[in-house]
A and B are shown apart, each in its own frame.
Chain A
Amino acid sequence: MPSRIPRVTKTAAIVLKHRRLGDADRIVTLLTPHRGKIDVVAKGLLRSRSKMAGHLEPLTLTEVVLAHGRSMDIVTQAQTVEPFAGLQRELELLSTAMYLLELTDRFTVEHADSLDVYELLEASLRRLSRGDGVTLVTRLFELGLLASTGFRPELEHCLETGEPVAAERAFWTHRGGGVVSEAGRASHPEAFALDARVLRVLRAFQALPYEEAGRIRIDPELAGRLERVMHEFVRAQAERELKSAEFVSESRRVSLGSTDAVAGGTEPV
């Protein structure tokens, strides 16, 4: 016998984004632990006396009560659980958090099981909010999200030959999805020599638990190289531009002043 859909459900959710619906309503995109990514309708959210507006802002962990609707569920109650207030104090943190939200939205599909991604996003926002290193949190988030959604980069073995590749002799292909050896490069003419330090750090981030990965010392120049490699990689896998990635770089540029922009500047990786 098919199970009946309950009329009202309660769930925790991280608000990913929202868009306007009519004069005062909004469609809010939520990431939930057990229902995956869902769009819900929040009525009257744009009215100044809305009791839910502040609880359904993007970048909020909230508990919502949803009434089952025909095409979309309707939010009947919302209560903030964690506002991640620490992220709204600094431009670099806020732009990074917006990047995590956009990546999550791009790499998840509606109603698919996304418990891993939900837990990863919640943990990453908490870590950023309490002041953990932006490079550590962001790169681990990217690698974790890619792994959970079927886009895990191959960092150890050649994509063509399957042989282990030494970091000093590795070539990198964004489109192919990881490293190739000298022998495998013939099939990937777009592959380029990757800084061995970048690959070693990515390998460690992919293999180590969070606390151990946090012990790796990363200077600003290396952080800039890691960021450029991973931004390009997720762009290639998402097959579209990620405006928030550009905003992360731009935020850092204006925060440091254009002459002190991210170490390495526009130097290719």
Chain B
Amino acid sequence: MNDPRGQHPDSTTSPINRLIEAFHRLPGIGPKSAQRLAYHVLRAPEEEASDLADALIEVKRSVVLCERCQNLTDTNPCRICLDTGRDRTIVCVVEEPLDVQAIERTGGFRGLYHVLHGVISPSDGIGPEELKIAELLTRIRDVDTDVAEVIVATNPNLEGEATSMYLARLLQPLGLSVTRLARGLPAGADLEYADDVTLGRALEFRQQV
């Protein structure tokens, strides 16, 4: 049964139905989960429900794309772009805003970012013009730019590789160093199950111990 309002719609009042339907529209939320979330909100203190509602409204009203790096931000330019302590000669290009958070968590990168908001994927109807590539080129061509290196940190899959190679072709003629995140075995991996391409690259780019 796909009606997210459950088996006894008459037993619930209209505001509950509205909330269940709203949760059901979220990605990955099925009808049962939508019901559970709605009843959780109903049973929670009013303060918790208000916090949730305020957070939802605030995120829609205040979050925009940073005019420089295209990351999601509530200040424009974003805090990372405005941080004078960061290295302005290196830009790390990522697919999605969540990738910025993942790299920031490592604590090992102090340069700037550029978010493409996707990856070249012809089978999904996404070509270079659907991504924030023009914005990256404008940024790099800016006369005041200090950028000397672009790290392409797209995912190591077919679409990520195609995007990375395409960006390299566009950026290298501008005199930049274009690098790619290293590709090898993940922590805790098992050689026996590694695919040929990953194992081959791990061997090719092996390091002195």
Shortest beta-carbon distance from A123 to chain B in Å: 20
In the bound complex, what is the Cα–Cα distance between A88 and B195 (angstroms)?
Answer: 15
Residue of B nearest to A59 (CB): B158
Residue of A nearest to B157 (CB): A57
Structural contact, A57 and B162, CB atoms closer than 8 A: no
Query: Does any Cβ of B come within 8 Å of A250's Cβ?
Result: yes
Chain A 103-135 near chain B by CB (<8 Å), digits 1 or 0? 001000000000000000000000000000000
Structural contact, B127 and A247, CB atoms closer than 8 A: yes
Stretch at the interface among A91-99, A143-151, A198-206: A91-99
Shortest beta-carbon distance from A80 to chain B in Å: 5
Please pick, from A19, A54, A90, A251, the residue contacting B194 in the complex, using a CB distance under 8 A: A54
Structural contact, A17 and B196, CB atoms closer than 8 A: no
Query: Does any Cβ of A come within 8 Å of B45's Cβ?
Result: no
Please pick, from A54, A91, A241, the residue contacting B197 in the complex, using a CB distance under 8 A: A54
Structural contact, B126 and A243, CB atoms closer than 8 A: yes
Please pick, from A51, A57, A247, the residue contacting B158 in the complex, using a CB distance under 8 A: A57
**Interfacial chain B residues near A60, Cβ < 8 Å:** 195
Task: Given A91-B162, A94-B161, A257-B173, decide whether A247 and B120 contact each other with a Cβ distance below 8 A.
Answer: yes
Structural contact, A85 and B125, CB atoms closer than 8 A: no
Stretch at the interface among B8-16, B56-64, B90-98, B163-171: B163-171
Task: Given A57-B157, A243-B127, decide whether A83 and B186 contact each other with a Cβ distance below 8 A.
Answer: no
Structural contact, A105 and B161, CB atoms closer than 8 A: no
Total chain A interface residues with beta-carbon distance under 8 A? 40
Please pick, from A52, A54, A98, A257, the residue contacting B122 in the complex, using a CB distance under 8 A: A98
Structural contact, A255 and B169, CB atoms closer than 8 A: yes
In the bound complex, what is the Cα–Cα distance between A90 and B189 (angstroms)?
Answer: 28
In the bound complex, what is the Cα–Cα distance between A257 and B172 (angstroms)?
Answer: 11
Shortest beta-carbon distance from A126 to chain B in Å: 15
In the bound complex, what is the Cα–Cα distance between A49 and B194 (angstroms)?
Answer: 10
Query: Does any Cβ of A come within 8 Å of B77's Cβ?
Result: no
Structural contact, B28 and A23, CB atoms closer than 8 A: yes
Please pick, from A95, A242, A246, the residue contacting B162 in the complex, using a CB distance under 8 A: A95
- Can you show 8 pairs from A to B with CB atoms below 8 A apart? A54-B198, A55-B195, A57-B158, A83-B195, A98-B158, A247-B120, A247-B122, A250-B127
The 10 closest A-B pairs by CB, nearest first: A54-B195, A244-B122, A243-B122, A51-B193, A91-B165, A254-B169, A17-B123, A58-B158, A48-B186, A83-B197
A sample of 8 more A-B contacts (CB under 8 A), given A57-B157, A80-B195, is A22-B28, A57-B197, A58-B157, A80-B197, A85-B197, A85-B200, A88-B161, A91-B166
Interface of B toward A, CB cutoff 8 Å? 28, 120, 122-128, 157-158, 161-162, 165-166, 169-170, 173, 186, 188-190, 193-198, 200
